[in-house]
């Protein structure tokens, strides 16, 4: 058999023993994996589930590093792109519906446990599945928020969810909950990614987005916590300081969706706010992720980082510091899309690094277990 039976059985057993009550509605009714063994998965297996990694290629062969990452290391997920930023060309992972369906089929075939296969399909300018490649047309969040017609929003959001499902994806890094406080914000307002500056509009629009994706069995991920809409710079390029522009109102959409049970997953922002943490940006901040998101707002689901290869992180923190601080902040999945910086061996490097940190006591094993349990709960019925 291609997969080692011990790893398959160990992780299946972990999936089977997850707390089903903790699973969000979009995962229910799919049939539960039966317990195979009572043996605890290894530390490295648990760490691997905390990784989401990107790759190059529109089809896969046994020699591809992403195949190794899934099959041998057992990573938790992957993210797909239409454009390769480093090479400056389209066709990285997505070229057509037929090609994408085959690629996602191949990805699933190498996984011994359910694999998160994610994409950024917000609509408008941030749409990896583009109309000119044969996918359904989309509109921006700003367009929908300006209309503020929930019937139209439902139509477009349902189309996105259905398109993802039809093409073998199961996770959408959307909707964006950032408030359009600064319309000229290069990462948010200027590219029409925000529904509105009014949190009530953002809440209503996002709720519909989550509900339609639930119906299509697509996991949603609200972003960018604790709010990127007031920023005057782009964290892709470097450190973004919102100390003097961010306000508590930016938490309102998160507070509402979490309270009403419409929060499936949260993505962190690489923004710095000295009023929330005098030392670290949100992704690496315990006071922001654990203190505000988990303790104050009550979210106990999966937290994923934004791209850990963005300038805001790699220009200011070592690889080791960024990984350690993210995990200790309360993050569950660390994302390395390999699209701003390309390292085909990032998976074994990160697994080795975190393993050493656990062995040395820098990261408590309890912290790894918490993330592993949250991830397995989310995957329990995919």
Q: What is the pTM of this model?
A: 0.91
Quick one: how many helices (H) and strands (E) in the chain?
13, 15
Beta bridge partners of 303: 266
Tell me the average pLDDT of the chain: 91
> What digits encode the pLDDT tens for the residues 332-381?
999 999 999 999 999 999 999 999 999 999 999 999 999 999 999 999 85
**Distance (Å, whole) CA 45 – CA 47:** 5
Phi, psi (degrees; rounded to nearest 5) at 53:
-130, 140
> What digits encode the pLDDT tens for the residues 248-276?
999 999 999 999 999 999 999 999 999 99
Question: CA–CA distance from 20 to each of 30, 203, 264, 292, 367 (Å)?
Answer: 12, 27, 14, 26, 21
> What digits encode the pLDDT tens for the residues 278-293?
999 999 999 999 999 9
pLDDT of residue 131: 98
The predicted model gives 227-242 an average pLDDT of 85
What residues does each domain of the chain span? 5-379
The set of residues, in sequence order, having a beta carbon less than 8 Å from that of 109 and lying 6+ positions away, is none
The predicted model gives 15-27 an average pLDDT of 44
Fold of 5-379: TIM Barrel (3.20.20)
Give the three-class secondary structure for 349: helix
Kindly list the catalytic residues: 236, 306
Q: How confident is the model at residue 181 (pLDDT cuts 50, 70, 90)?
A: very high
Q: How confident is the model at residue 236 (pLDDT cuts 50, 70, 90)?
A: confident
């Amino acid at each position: 058999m291609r997969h080692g039976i011990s790893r398959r059985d160990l992780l299946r057993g972990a999936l089977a023993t997850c707390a089903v009550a903790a699973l969000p509605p979009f995962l229910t009714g799919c049939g539960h994996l039966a317990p195979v063994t009572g043996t605890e998965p290894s530390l490295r297996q648990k760490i691997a589930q905390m990784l989401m990694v990107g790759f190059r290629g529109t089809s896969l062969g046994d020699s591809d590093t992403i195949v190794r990452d899934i099959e041998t290391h057992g990573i938790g997920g992957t993210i797909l792109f239409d454009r390769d930023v480093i090479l400056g060309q389209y066709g990285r992972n997505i070229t057509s519906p037929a090609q994408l369906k085959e690629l996602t089929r191949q990805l699933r075939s190498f996984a011994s446990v359910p694999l998160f296969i994610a994409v950024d399909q917000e609509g408008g300018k941030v749409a990896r599945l583009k109309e000119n490649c044969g996918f359904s047309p989309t509109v921006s969040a700003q367009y929908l928020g300006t209309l503020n017609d929930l019937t139209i929003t439902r139509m477009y959001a349902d189309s996105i969810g259905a398109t993802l499902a039809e093409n073998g994806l199961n996770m959408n890094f959307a909707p964006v909950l950032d408030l359009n406080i600064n319309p000229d914000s290069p990462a948010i307002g200027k590219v029409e990614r925000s529904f509105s500056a009014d949190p009530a509009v953002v809440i209503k629009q996002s709720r519909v987005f989550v509900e339609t994706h639930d119906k299509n069995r697509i996991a949603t991920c609200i972003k960018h916590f604790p709010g990127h809409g007031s920023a005057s710079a782009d964290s892709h390029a470097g450190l973004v300081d919102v100390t003097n522009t961010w306000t508590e109102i930016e938490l309102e959409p998160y507070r509402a969706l979490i309270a009403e049970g419409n929060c499936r997953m949260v993505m962190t922002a690489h923004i710095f706010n000295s009023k929330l943490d005098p030392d670290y940006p949100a992704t690496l901040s315990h006071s922001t992720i654990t203190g505000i998101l988990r303790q104050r707002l009550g979210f106990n689901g999966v937290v994923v980082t934004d791209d850990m290869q963005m300038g805001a992180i790699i220009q200011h923190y070592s690889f080791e510091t960024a990984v350690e601080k993210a995990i200790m902040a309360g993050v569950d999945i660390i994302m390395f899309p390999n699209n701003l910086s390309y390292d085909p061996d990032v998976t074994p490097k990160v697994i080795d690094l975190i393993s050493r940190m656990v062995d040395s006591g820098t990261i408590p094993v309890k912290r790894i277990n918490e993330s592993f349990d949250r991830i397995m709960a989310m995957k329990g019925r995919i």
